[in-house]
Amino acid sequence: MTETLSPALPDDVEALIDRVLREAGDRGLTLATAESCTGGLIASVLTDVEGRSHAFERGYVVYTDDAKAEELAVPTRLIDQNGAVSGPVACAMAEGALRRSGAAVAVAVTGFAGAAGPDDEPGLVHFALAAAGAPTVHEEHHFGDIGRGPVRMESVRVALRMLEQAVTKR
Amino acid symbol at 6 = S
What pLDDT, on a 0 to 100 scale, did the predictor assign at position 52?
Answer: 86
Say if residue 138's pLDDT is above 90: yes
What pLDDT, on a 0 to 100 scale, did the predictor assign at position 74?
Answer: 98
What one-character DSSP code corresponds to residue 3? S
Determine the 3-state secondary structure of 74 from DSSP: coil
Dist CA 6 CA 148 (whole Å) = 19
Alpha-carbon 1 to chain mean position: 20
Dist CA 26 CA 72 (whole Å) = 28
Say if residue 3's pLDDT is above 90: no
Say if residue 2's pLDDT is above 70: no
pTM over 0.85: yes
CB-count exposure of residue 169 (10 Å: 0-12, 13-18, 19+) = exposed
HEC states along 98-142? HHHHCCCEEEEEEECCCCCCCCCCCCEEEEEEEECCCCCEEEEEE
Say if residue 168's pLDDT is above 90: yes
- What is the rounded average pLDDT of the residues 86-93? 98
- pLDDT per residue over 24-82, tens digit each? 999 999 999 999 999 999 999 999 988 888 899 999 999 999 999 999 999 999 999 99
Dist CA 153 CA 118 (whole Å) = 24
Of 19-23, 84-88, 111-115, the range with the lowest mean pLDDT is 111-115
